[in-house]
Amino acid sequence: MTNRLFTVVGLVLLSAQVFAFQAPSGQTPTPAGQAPPGQSEFVPVDQLPPSEQLPAAPLLVAAYAFAWLAVFFYVWTVWRRLNKVEADMRVFERRHGQGREGASGVNRTNPR
Amino acid sequence: MKKMFIPLAVLTAAMFAYAPVAIANAPYESTMLLIQKIFYFHVPAWMAMYAGIAVCGIASGIYLFKGRPAADRLAVAAAELIVLFGAIGLVTGPLWGRKAWGVWWQWDARLTMALLLELVFIAYLLVRAYGGPGSDKLAAAVGIFGMAVSPFVYVSVNIWRTVHPLNTVVPTLKAGMFGPFWFCAMAFLLLFTLLLTLRMNLAEEQAMLDDLYLADEE
């Protein structure tokens, strides 16, 4: 009984293997909506097809765009800091002017 | 220099406007083809960075040993530009490498040392920004250190095995590439000079404001 069971299981496995190895040779087109079968082997090629090659133009444009953006960003930060310093300078001068006017007893905004 | 600023700015703008035409007309390199044209911005950016390193290092030395505040302001201005042009070099390089070598980055001697040099000057700026009192002298020492290590970055391709092109590429440029390259290099060095002047102007105004506040407190 046990020997017969082993024989049946062995035959099933053998036939499954034979079927599995034969299947790729007789590949049929995959019906729409079904996942493609697993790849059974990798075939090396020397050259990538043109559709798969990394194009140089986007990288070149990105490089030049980054250079320009970096310079403009830096100029913008300097301009912002310069504006802030000039605003601080005006605040200081206004406060300093008012302080001097207050100390001398003259207040133009409030004559009383 | 302030009188020359506007004419120089116009000249630099004109040079950068013409640069893409000069680069487009330059011949293709035989193995890298189109992507090699990044070279016309990549190497001049490093040249501007090296000009900044020389200015920052020398000005830091003058400040450290002679104590001149103007030299300190010049060193800070140059350090910012080193980081700017270094960032351009470090970003344009991998964009080139991705196509030429198939990888964005390679931890070889040249690329790693260039990154470390950039980090040295980022450290300089961080010390200045957050170091507190006395950080100006510490930063000046960092500036001198940065200048001292920079030649090793330049010669690294000759000493170690690296994927990066050798330094002999620029002196041996053929006629069609030589002109556009030096044109772009001059444009970048002019841009560096203009930005340094602009940043120095800001540093001088900041120093003037600080002096006013200090005088007011006294």
pTM (predicted TM-score): 0.80
| Chain A environment of B195 (Cβ under 8 Å) | 71, 74-75, 78
Q: What are A63-111's pLDDT values in tens digits?
A: 999 999 999 999 999 999 999 999 999 998 888 776 655 544 444 343 3
Q: What are B29-51's pLDDT values in tens digits?
A: 988 889 999 999 999 999 999 99
Asked if B37's CB is within 8 angstroms of A59's CB, the reply is: no
Mean pLDDT of B49-64: 98
Alpha-carbon distances, residue B212 vs A77, A95, B132 (angstroms): 24, 12, 20
Give the ipTM: 0.92
What's the CA gap between A56 and B34, in Å, rounded?
Answer: 6
What's the CA gap between B210 and B72, in Å, rounded?
Answer: 15
Please state whether B161 falls in left (phi above 0), alpha (psi between -120 and 50) or beta: beta
Looking at the partner chain, which of A67, A85, A96 has a beta carbon nearest the beta carbon of B202? A85
Domain residue spans in chain A? Answer: 57-112
| Chain B environment of A70 (Cβ under 8 Å) | 84, 87-88, 91
How many Å lie between the alpha carbon of A79 and the closest alpha carbon of chain B? 9
The interface residues of chain A toward chain B in range 44-103, judged by CB-CB distance below 8 A, are 54, 56-57, 59-60, 62-64, 66-67, 70-71, 74-75, 78, 81-82, 85-86, 88-89, 92, 96
> Tokens 């802030």 sit at which residue?
A84
Cα atoms in the 13 Å half-sphere on the side-chain side of A70: 23
Residues 6+ positions from B117 with CB-CB distance below 8 Å: B53, B86, B146, B149, B150, B153
Alpha-carbon distances, residue A97 vs A87, A106, B218 (angstroms): 15, 11, 16
Tokens of B173: 């440029």
Q: What are B156-201's pLDDT values in tens digits?
A: 998 998 889 999 999 999 889 999 999 999 999 999 999 999 999 9
Contact criterion met (CB below 8 Å) for A58 and A65: no
Q: What are B71-126's pLDDT values in tens digits?
A: 999 999 999 999 999 999 999 999 999 999 989 999 999 999 999 999 999 999 99
Put simply, whether B41 touches A (Cβ < 8 Å) is: yes
| Chain B environment of A96 (Cβ under 8 Å) | 212, 216
Confidence of residue B1 (pLDDT cuts 50, 70, 90): low
**pLDDT number for residue A96:** 79
What's the CA gap between A54 and A51, in Å, rounded?
Answer: 9
| Chain A environment of B191 (Cβ under 8 Å) | 71
Put simply, whether B17 touches A (Cβ < 8 Å) is: no
Residues 6+ positions from B198 with CB-CB distance below 8 Å: A75, A78
Asked if A56's CB is within 8 angstroms of B202's CB, the reply is: no
Looking at the partner chain, which of B88, B96, B205 has a beta carbon nearest the beta carbon of A82? B205
Domain residue spans in chain B? Answer: 36-217
Q: Best of B81, B91, B211 to disrupt the A interface by mutation (most A CBs within 10 Å)?
A: B91
**pLDDT number for residue A24:** 45
What integer best gives the mean pLDDT of chain A? Answer: 72
Contact criterion met (CB below 8 Å) for A63 and B92: yes
Q: Which residue of A has its CA nearest to B88?
A: A67
